[in-house]
Amino acid sequence: MKAKRLWLTVFSILLAVIMITGCTGGVQTRTDSGAADKSTDTAATGGQKSVKIQFWNGFTASDGDILREIFDRFNAQNDKGITVEMDIMPWDNLFEKLAPALATGTAPALLLLGSEYVPEYASTGNIIPMDDFWDWSGLNKEIYAQNVRDAFKYKGTTYGIPMQYNTMYLYWNKDIFAEAGLDPEKPPKTFDELKKYAALMTDKSKQQYGFGIALGHSNITNFLWSNGGDWLNSDQTEAACNSPEMIEVLTMLQEFAINGHTPVGMSGADLDNLLFAGQLGMYINGPWLINGCRQNNLNFGIGAVPAANNGNLQVPGGGCAYMVTSSASEEQKIAAYEAVKYWLSKDVLKEWSMRNGFPAWSEEVLADPDIKNDLIQNTLGPLTKYGRLPFAGMPEYKQMASEYLDPLFEQLMYQQITPEECAKKMAEGINAVLKK
């Protein structure tokens, strides 16, 4: 009996020890800012201090595989003990995770975000200024296109070092063009041609659509500027979108839905899949689809978005930049800078452009013979001049988009409102946010 009690006591003590040690886990160090420094491993490894940084991005397509390959190489090659731990997730999930992570100081040190997010995250102090990057890195910033560098500034301060820059392009399925009796080498040049071609290529019996319009107001911007309209007045103090130019564009987009030439209610990812499946004649998107088209053996073309009937062309431009969050310690910031410096090397930028199709934006890459002879680069490079940042420098942009512009565009495509009502309500929404 006594022996049984003894065994029970020993077992209980052992269990308690296991539980307590299990619960404590590793000891976390804290940075000066108070943020949990979970991603810094300061254990000495043969005299070399190793630093781990988390890196979040939304490159879920094939471009993410290339990105991961490049950073795996960086991890293996850098002699400073830096490890970049990449976490790729859909953009929606990224933003939903990012806000609470920033609030609790547990955000990753390094982020890849689009230029449109700079004002919002910079104005709230969630990403830190990176003006010191160029001096720190010793890189000659002049060889990198100035408009690209400036795309990630907020009130004159740099908050992001560019990763890539692009405008929007028209993809078309050459096989569907040929089946519809169109010349596969001659994509539509104007709005009218776009409408005509979309009608010719739509075949409901095959679930085949002539043109894909995803939900999201950026589909309006693809045509609005070319048509002479704009979202805001020149000093960005008032909405300018309740205009005949806007109504004309909205009418055209709604007609695609009414005529069944575009599927309605589709997300960008839905349409990407439809394009890859060979069920979409034409689609406007960024260069990140090039690789997917190649991998799916799609006989495709890529070129300029159709211009207005008067020949005017201006489309949304932008890109992604590396940004350092307020959760990063000084040590992590330097590690992030090292990773960004590696990215800006000629070989990496060239590899990204060649394998992924993104237009080159540094002088030394542009001068490279392989780039000069690449068909995609030769097609997309000259189109960069037509790009323009939408809602540049406006922290209120995302609120305008999610509260008013996107829901109203969805209503338009589902034919719940007329183009006139849509334009009016969008203007009212923008003004309401600006007033706040």
Partner 1 sequence: MFKNIRSYFQRTETAAWVLLFPSLLCLTIFLFIPLIMSFGLAFFDVTIFLKQFKFVGLDNFIELLQDDRFWNALGNTVYFTIMVVPCGILFSLAVALFVQGNSLFQRFLRVSYYVPVICSMTAMGIVWAVLMDPTIGMFAFWIRQLGFENVQLLKDPNLAMPLIAAMTIWKTFGQNMIILVAGLQAIPDEYYDASMIDGANKWKQFFHITLPSLIPTLGFCVTTSTISSFMVFDQTYVMTRGGPLFRTETLAQYVYTRGFVISPFRLGYASSVAFVLFIVIAAISIAMYYFFTKKETEGL
Q: Under the rule (CB under 8 A), what is the footprint of partner 1? A: 92, 95-96, 99-100, 102-103, 120, 124, 126, 204, 207, 215, 263-266, 270, 273-274, 277, 279, 398-399, 402-403, 407, 410-411, 414, 416
State how beta strands 387-388 and 209-212 pair.
unpaired
Beta carbon of residue 403, minimum distance to partner 1 (angstroms, whole number) = 7
H/E run at residue 57: strand 51-57
Residue 170 to residue 313: CA distance in whole angstroms = 13
What are the respective helix, strand and coil percentages of the chain, to the nearest 5? Answer: 50, 20, 35
Instruction: Tell me the three state secondary structure of residue 45.
Output: strand
Beta carbon of residue 298, minimum distance to partner 1 (angstroms, whole number) = 16
Complex with partner 1: residue 41 or 410, whichever CB lies closer: 410
Complex with partner 1: residue 52 or 217, whichever CB lies closer: 217
The candidate with the shortest Cα–Cα distance to 182, out of 169, 168, 196, 171, is 196
Beta carbon of residue 404, minimum distance to partner 1 (angstroms, whole number) = 11
Complex with partner 1: residue 244 or 260, whichever CB lies closer: 260
Instruction: Tell me the three state secondary structure of residue 174.
Output: helix
Complex with partner 1: residue 120 or 338, whichever CB lies closer: 120
Complex with partner 1: residue 270 or 351, whichever CB lies closer: 270
Beta carbon of residue 399, minimum distance to partner 1 (angstroms, whole number) = 5
Beta carbon of residue 422, minimum distance to partner 1 (angstroms, whole number) = 13
Beta carbon of residue 107, minimum distance to partner 1 (angstroms, whole number) = 11
Complex with partner 1: residue 123 or 137, whichever CB lies closer: 123
Beta carbon of residue 65, minimum distance to partner 1 (angstroms, whole number) = 22
Complex with partner 1: residue 265 or 382, whichever CB lies closer: 265
Beta carbon of residue 64, minimum distance to partner 1 (angstroms, whole number) = 19
Residue 325 to residue 126: CA distance in whole angstroms = 6
Beta carbon of residue 204, minimum distance to partner 1 (angstroms, whole number) = 6
Residue 338 to residue 139: CA distance in whole angstroms = 12
Instruction: Tell me the three state secondary structure of residue 82.
Output: strand
Residue 431 to residue 220: CA distance in whole angstroms = 18
For residue 44, CA distances in Å to 28, 38, 81 come to 16, 16, 10
Complex with partner 1: residue 287 or 419, whichever CB lies closer: 419
Complex with partner 1: residue 96 or 185, whichever CB lies closer: 96
| 392 phi, psi to nearest 5 deg | -60, 135
| 194 phi, psi to nearest 5 deg | -60, -45
Contact predicate 324/316, CB 8 Å: no
Residue 271 to residue 283: CA distance in whole angstroms = 8
Contact predicate 365/346, CB 8 Å: yes
Instruction: Tell me the three state secondary structure of residue 105.
Output: coil
